[in-house]
Chains A and B, each alone.
Chain A
Amino acid sequence: MSFLQPWLLAALPLVSLPIIIHLINQRRYQTVQWAAMMFLLAANKMSRGYARLRQYLIMAMRIAAIAALIFAISRPLTGGWLGRAGGGKPDVTLVLLDRSPSMTQSGSGTGDSKLETGRRQLAESLKTIGSQRWVLIEPGSDRPRELDSIDALVTSPSAGPTSASSDLPAMLLTAQEYMKANKTGRTEVWILSDIRENDWNAEGGRWQTLRDAFLEFSQGVRFHLLAYPQKAPGNLSVRVTEARRQKTGEGAELLVSLKLRREGQGDPGASTDAKETVPIQFEVGGGARSEVSVELAGAEYELKEHRIPLGPGTEKGWGMVSIPADASPADNAFYFAFSQPAPRKTIVVAEDPQAAQPLQLAAAISPDPAITSTSEVVAVSALGAVEWEQVALVLWQSPLPDGDAAKLVKAFVDRGGSALFFPPHSPTDAEFLGMKWTTWVGGPQEVPVETWRGDQDLLANTQSGTALPVGKLQVRRYCGLSGEATPLAGLKGNAPLLARPTTNRGAAYFCATTPAPPDSSLATEGVVFYVMLQRALAAGATVLQSTRQLTAGDSAGESPANWKRLAGSDDSVSTDYPLHAGVYESGDRLLAINRSSAEDASGVLADARVAGLFKGLDFSRVDDQAGSMGSLIQEVWRLFLAAMMVAMMVEAGLCLPRKPAPAVTGSSRIPSGVAS
């Protein structure tokens, strides 16, 4: 039970008033000389039975009436909604909306999504509680937005669903910064979320710092979580894994690979094993449509290289794959864009011709006949003349760039290109991206590669899951490396072989040895080297392509200012395009935006885990269901007033003098004598 005016509860000791009055009354007794003591003593010995019970009941009813009155004027709220939600109007109420695609999931038998229900519930509840200021914090925006009224939470288009995942820790950080900057008074933070693991990122290191930061606020912050943790068993999601244009004899065709996934949790066995025919609809360029039905037996189905014929002149285009509507509409469509692959151009800057040659070779051999790969050796002095906008990869085996060269390479990496650095013969003091070559280390013994990251980045396992033969590499000589970087491969003795410093965009890698035969077997055992280079090249080339697949919320350096929507939902404003799934045209490029892959397979965070995240903070949680009509919070003072009236009526009934005995009053009450 919570109250809007809890300070009035301080009057609760008044319930003892009837007892005090009773005691005072008892003290005001009269003394009388009495003859018929034998009856008094006999009465005292008799069982008090109902008389005593009646007295207690009367007292209880009086106490109950006063208590009910005090409760009524304290304006109680139903639902125990968030414990002590009341406590007067907060100074600022921050609303954190999880607008991730999973929030569009609707409840059974209702058309309302979790987000719509939650917004409505929040608006109603917050309106009842009241606040001086409402501030909305949305995912993907670090600018909190003040709301004129809490009703805007329901009506505002910017509170609607998006295709981007929410980053709850980032939103909380925004909230914390807002509180710090505005020096807010008593603050309430209301979080509306379906507590998906990918949105909450509970394993991330930011939670601890956030907790500590919130604990520092002296004014007290109260967290309320309105959770919609229900999953949708049997919900289908579709995701295009690859869309490739391929030339054929007659013209061209589109090869689309996709994955269908069925949510199985909640009803294991029954739903995952049941066979289901799913019609998949393909739409290319907003016109031609085709449909294919697949039979889904397990939790996942993969359709490989479904062929869709294209017109001979179609160089690039976009398309959409959709499945019939189900509980969660956000994962029923996937957009893709295709085009001719961009030519991959590599620039090699090398001081050692022995090392330059394998670099140039490995970069120039294309893995796919459809892709043109070229590589060019360029001297450091000639860097200014390079057409950087066509370059996908820079291979640098030379003292680290400084001056103008460093600026050029930095700009290239920031644009999204890839750069791979190899140590020079004589390391200098030059520093790039915080990294520096130290000294060469080498001995008669070859140093084996001890560890490498097989799960991601350049040395990741192949698509079939096979590990790259990194362990077979023999490193005879390597150069020390200093600076903050993530090691991707390490030599025996903890020296890094391949490291990646943090960059905003693009990628920079530092390989501690060169492919020159005296240094390592990188060139001779060419598989790892080739894969490494081609992966870096492919990553660097994505920004050069005329089509891009983007994850919603991650605009990848693209500015939405001049985007034009070709497909996607109509209810988003142009500045929010990067948050909404669809196909957009930016100049002559096509951008397909979709939900992140984590959205499809994200579990719900366990209750204990959520409670653990807010440990030490004033936190309360309530679970609701999508489409629920009942209000979360309601004033119930009428109930207490009615209770008070009932208590008073019962008390009055108990106090009524009992029906007098049939005997008459006065002297004639005494029966006259018995004359025998």
Chain B
Amino acid sequence: MFADRQPRSFLDPAVLSRLQNFPFLARRPMQGNVSGRHPSPHRGSSVEFAEYRKYVPGDDLRRLDWRAYGRSDKYFIKEFEADTNLRCCLVLDTSGSMGFGMSGISKIEYARRIAAALGHMALQQGDAIGLSCVAKGLVQNIPPRRNPAHLMAIYDTLEQIKPKGESQLVPVLHELAETIRQRALIVIVSDLFVDPEELKGCFEHLRFRHHDVSIFHLLDPKEIDFDFRRPMRFLDMEGGPAVFAEPSEIADRYRKAVASYLEGVTKIVRESAIDYHRVSIDENYEQVLIRFLVGRARVKGGALR
């Protein structure tokens, strides 16, 4: 399928084929337009029993459970789960800070790999896939579609995007919450350098719209450890003022600030029931995705309705 093209740097066929073994499932009922592998909010014709409910006139008599009638002398309709496909929206942070990477790979490159792999998997199981790039506003928005050509367009976009400008993640997430039709899977790949309190509003909004939200929070180990030795002049990658600092003097407070931020983020993702994955970009992305997929398979059909 890619014979006539240059291989994409962010695609590794070996990884993709290994990931093929894991289902990419939604944690919440999704509203698709065709049959698929994901739970639907509607009752359907799958083999998975859902519930009994009392017969009401007008119900299809074929779905009456005669055995139940035999036991209880009451009319019950036997209902089954409906399986549907889903719309997966990849929200990629392309602000300047995503260009950072001191572990041999930049955050944006890492994000590309995750997005590309997820896109490939979704399409393979018949789900629609879309891409929104966020920097100073919504710089790219590709609505979800199910055809392979669409995936090509998404890959092209992933290839072309450059990390630039400051991040307007919060307003864009609010905007996406409204514009994406209800009950979609939204995968955010970002470093989330935003005040956790502001993020909380976005996450509540997305949840209100019945979206299943997953976050890959990308962080460079250097950003956490801050183990510089010499005095440094830090230039803001998003165009802010430069800061001069003596690492030995400021490291303690820096680490304190990071710890407090991470704690804040953890708290709000718990409160908002977000599928949150904090990722160090020196980690193998395949492992991160496996962890992600396994986690989702475990809760399939769970209480998140």
Q: Which residues in A have some Cβ–Cβ distance to B below 8 Å?
A: 25-26, 28-44, 46, 48, 51-52, 55, 658, 661, 665-676
What is the distance, in angstroms, from B270's C-beta to the closest C-beta of chain A?
A: 6
What is the distance, in angstroms, from B299's C-beta to the closest C-beta of chain A?
A: 8
Are B250 and A676 interface neighbours, CB within 8 A? no
Find A673's partner among B193, B235, B291 (CB 8 Å cutoff).
Answer: B291
CB contacts (< 8 Å) of A675 on chain B: these are 275-277, 295, 299
Are B237 and A34 interface neighbours, CB within 8 A? yes
* B220 lies within 8 A of chain A by Cβ: yes
Find A40's partner among B225, B254, B275 (CB 8 Å cutoff).
Answer: B254
CB contacts (< 8 Å) of B195 on chain A: these are 38
Instruction: Give the secondary structure class of B's interface.
Output: mixed
Are B191 and A35 interface neighbours, CB within 8 A? yes
CB contacts (< 8 Å) of A673 on chain B: these are 217, 275-279, 291
Are B193 and A36 interface neighbours, CB within 8 A? yes
CB contacts (< 8 Å) of A30 on chain B: these are 228, 230-233
CA distance A676 to B296 in the complex (A): 10
Which chain B residue lies CB-closest to A40? B243
Are A661 and B255 interface neighbours, CB within 8 A? yes
Given A42-B261, A658-B252, A665-B225; 6 other pairs, CB 8 A cutoff: A35-B237, A48-B253, A52-B249, A667-B282, A673-B278, A674-B269
Are B276 and A676 interface neighbours, CB within 8 A? yes
CB contacts (< 8 Å) of B244 on chain A: these are 29
Find B261's partner among A35, A39, A48 (CB 8 Å cutoff).
Answer: A39
- Interface pairs (20), CB distance under 8 Å: A25-B230, A25-B231, A28-B230, A29-B233, A32-B234, A36-B97, A39-B261, A43-B254, A43-B256, A44-B243, A661-B259, A666-B221, A666-B280, A667-B221, A670-B279, A672-B277, A672-B291, A673-B275, A674-B274, A676-B273
CA distance A43 to B254 in the complex (A): 5
For the complex of A and B, the 7 pairs showing the least CB-CB separation, nearest first, are A673-B277, A35-B100, A35-B97, A667-B280, A43-B253, A34-B234, A42-B257
* B159 lies within 8 A of chain A by Cβ: no
Which chain A residue lies CB-closest to B101? A35
Given A40-B254, A46-B253: A669 touches B225 (CB 8 Å cut-off) = yes
Which chain A residue lies CB-closest to B107? A35
Given A32-B232, A35-B100, A676-B275: A26 touches B246 (CB 8 Å cut-off) = yes
What is the distance, in angstroms, from B282's C-beta to the closest C-beta of chain A?
A: 5
* B65 lies within 8 A of chain A by Cβ: no
Are A37 and B240 interface neighbours, CB within 8 A? yes
* B236 lies within 8 A of chain A by Cβ: yes
CB contacts (< 8 Å) of A32 on chain B: these are 232-235
Which chain B residue lies CB-closest to A672? B278
Are A670 and B233 interface neighbours, CB within 8 A? no
Given A28-B230, A32-B235, A675-B275: A43 touches B250 (CB 8 Å cut-off) = yes
CB contacts (< 8 Å) of A44 on chain B: these are 243, 245, 250, 253
CB contacts (< 8 Å) of B191 on chain A: these are 35-36
CB contacts (< 8 Å) of A668 on chain B: these are 280
Are B230 and A40 interface neighbours, CB within 8 A? no
* B258 lies within 8 A of chain A by Cβ: yes
CB contacts (< 8 Å) of B223 on chain A: these are 35-36, 39
Given A40-B245, A46-B256, A667-B282: A33 touches B224 (CB 8 Å cut-off) = no
Are B280 and A670 interface neighbours, CB within 8 A? yes
CB contacts (< 8 Å) of B12 on chain A: these are none
Q: In this complex, which of B219, B257, B295 has the most chain A Cβ atoms within 10 angstroms of its Cβ?
A: B257
Are A31 and B233 interface neighbours, CB within 8 A? yes
Are A34 and B235 interface neighbours, CB within 8 A? yes
CA distance A281 to B266 in the complex (A): 106
What is the distance, in angstroms, from B108's C-beta to the closest C-beta of chain A?
A: 11
CB contacts (< 8 Å) of A41 on chain B: these are 243
What is the distance, in angstroms, from A62's C-beta to the closest C-beta of chain B?
A: 15
CA distance A412 to B298 in the complex (A): 141
Which chain A residue lies CB-closest to B231? A29
* B286 lies within 8 A of chain A by Cβ: no
* B68 lies within 8 A of chain A by Cβ: no
CB contacts (< 8 Å) of B250 on chain A: these are 40, 43-44, 51
B193-207 residues with Cβ-Cβ distance < 8 A to A are 193, 195
B263-305 residues with Cβ-Cβ distance < 8 A to A are 266, 269-270, 273-280, 282-283, 291, 295, 299
CB contacts (< 8 Å) of A35 on chain B: these are 96-100, 107, 191, 193, 220, 223, 237-238
Are B220 and A671 interface neighbours, CB within 8 A? no
* B262 lies within 8 A of chain A by Cβ: yes
Given A672-B278, A676-B276: A39 touches B257 (CB 8 Å cut-off) = yes
CB contacts (< 8 Å) of B299 on chain A: these are 675
What is the distance, in angstroms, from A51's C-beta to the closest C-beta of chain B?
A: 6
CB contacts (< 8 Å) of A29 on chain B: these are 230-233, 244
CB contacts (< 8 Å) of B246 on chain A: these are 26
What is the distance, in angstroms, from A37's C-beta to the closest C-beta of chain B?
A: 5
CA distance A140 to B219 in the complex (A): 96
CB contacts (< 8 Å) of A34 on chain B: these are 100, 234-237, 243
CA distance A41 to B100 in the complex (A): 18
Are A37 and B224 interface neighbours, CB within 8 A? no
What is the distance, in angstroms, from B200's C-beta to the closest C-beta of chain A?
A: 14
CB contacts (< 8 Å) of B256 on chain A: these are 43, 46
What is the distance, in angstroms, from B77's C-beta to the closest C-beta of chain A?
A: 34
Q: In this complex, which of B191, B249, B270 has the most chain A Cβ atoms within 10 angstroms of its Cβ?
A: B249
